[in-house]
Structure 1
Amino acid sequence: MKILITGANGFIGKNLIVELKNKGYQDLYLCARNTTAAELEQYTSDCDFVFHLAGINRPLTEEEFHTGNVQFTETLLQLLKKQNNKAPIIFASSKQAMQENAYGKSKLSAEQALLEYEKEAPDKVFIYRLSNVFGKWCKPNYNSVVATFCHNIAHDLSIQIHNESSELNLIYIDDIIEEWISLLEGVTIRPALDHRYYIHTIHQTTLGKLAEIIESFKESRRNLQASDMSDALVKKLYSTYLTYLPEEEFSYPLKMNVDQRGSFTEILKADSFGQVSVNISKPGITKGNHWHHTKTEKFLVVSGQGIIRFRKLVTDDCTEEEQQILEYYVSGEKLEVIDIPPGYTHNITNIGTSDLVTIMWANESFNQDKPDTYFLEV
Structure 2
Amino acid sequence: MTAARRIAITGGFGFLGWHTACRLRAMHQVEPVRLGRDDFAEPARLAEALRRVDAVIHIAGVNRAESDEAVEQGNVHLATALAAAMRKVGKPFDVVFANSIQAKLDNPYGRGKANAAQVLKEAAAEMGGHFADLLLPNLFGEHGRPGYNSFVATFAHEVAAGRVPTVAGDREIQLLHAQDAAAALIEALGRDVSEVVPAEATGIGEVLRFFLETHELYATRGEVPDIATPMRRNLFNTYRAAAFPEMWPIFPQVHGDNRGDLYETVRAHGGTGMAFMSTTLPGQKRGEHYHLHKVERFFVVKGEAEIELRRLLHDEVVTFRLSGDEPSFVDMPALWVHNIRNVGDTELMTMFWADQLLDLDHPDQFPETIAQETTA
TM-score (norm 1): 0.64
**2:101 is matched with which residue?**
95
Moved more, 15-24 or 203-212: 15-24
Q: How does 1:59-138 map to 2 (within 5 A)?
A: 59-117=65-123, 119-120=125-126, 124-138=130-144
**1:370 is matched with which residue?**
none
Structure 1 residue 272, shift from structure 2 partner = 5.1
Q: Distance in 1 between matches of 2:23 and 2:271?
A: 33
SS in 2 for 1:21: helix
Structure 1 residue 117, shift from structure 2 partner = 3.5
AA aligned to 1:178 is: A
Counterpart of 1:177 (choices 174, 182, 192) is 182
Q: Distance in 2 between matches of 1:11 and 1:69?
A: 17
Counterpart of 1:241 (choices 239, 242, 259) is 239
Counterpart of 2:25 (choices 21, 26, 44) is 21
**2:248 is matched with which residue?**
250
AA aligned to 1:88 is: D
Counterpart of 1:227 (choices 216, 225, 228) is 225
Structure 1 residue 161, shift from structure 2 partner = 0.2
Structure 1 residue 139, shift from structure 2 partner = 0.7
Question: Contact 1:220 / 1:226 at 8 angstroms: preserved in 2?
Answer: yes
Q: Distance in 2 between matches of 1:66 and 1:275?
A: 47
Q: How does 1:131-150 map to 2 (within 5 A)?
A: 131-150=137-156
In percent, how many aligned pairs have the same letter?
27
SS in 2 for 1:248: coil
1:132-167 CA-partner distances (Å, limit 9, x unpaired)? 111112111113011111111001123120133x00
**1:366 is matched with which residue?**
none
**2:202 is matched with which residue?**
205
Is 1:11 the counterpart of 2:15? The answer is yes
1:264-310 CA-partner distances (Å, limit 9, x unpaired)? 22333356589999xxxxxxxxxxxxxxxxxxxxxxxx88xxxxxxx
Change (3 A) 1:264 1:65: same
TM-score (norm 2): 0.65
Structure 1 residue 100, shift from structure 2 partner = 2.4
Structure 1 residue 256, shift from structure 2 partner = 2.3
SS in 1 for 2:227: coil
Moved more, 8-17 or 250-259: 250-259
Counterpart of 1:49 (choices 52, 55, 70) is 55
Question: Contact 2:11 / 2:61 at 8 angstroms: preserved in 1?
Answer: yes
Q: Distance in 1 between matches of 2:126 and 2:85?
A: 14
1:14-60 CA-partner distances (Å, limit 9, x unpaired)? 1222332333323x333211122211121234420001111111112
Q: Distance in 2 between matches of 1:114 and 1:72?
A: 10
Q: Distance in 1 between matches of 2:274 and 2:54?
A: 51
Moved more, 65-74 or 224-233: 224-233
Is 1:33 the counterpart of 2:40? The answer is no
Q: Distance in 2 between matches of 1:118 and 1:86?
A: 7
Question: Contact 2:92 / 2:129 at 8 angstroms: preserved in 1?
Answer: no
| Matched residues, number | 275
Change (3 A) 1:153 1:118: same
Q: Distance in 2 between matches of 1:103 and 1:273?
A: 39
Question: Contact 1:6 / 1:32 at 8 angstroms: preserved in 2?
Answer: yes
Q: Distance in 2 between matches of 1:11 and 1:66?
A: 20
**1:325 is matched with which residue?**
none
Change (3 A) 1:270 1:30: closer
Q: Distance in 2 between matches of 1:274 and 1:119?
A: 48
AA aligned to 1:207 is: I
Unaligned runs of 5+ in 1: 278-301, 304-356, 362-378
Is 1:153 the counterpart of 2:159? The answer is yes
Question: Contact 1:132 / 1:145 at 8 angstroms: preserved in 2?
Answer: no
Unaligned runs of 5+ in 2: 276-300, 303-348, 354-376
Q: Distance in 2 between matches of 1:156 and 1:208?
A: 17
Question: Contact 1:267 / 1:276 at 8 angstroms: preserved in 2?
Answer: no
Structure 1 residue 78, shift from structure 2 partner = 2.5
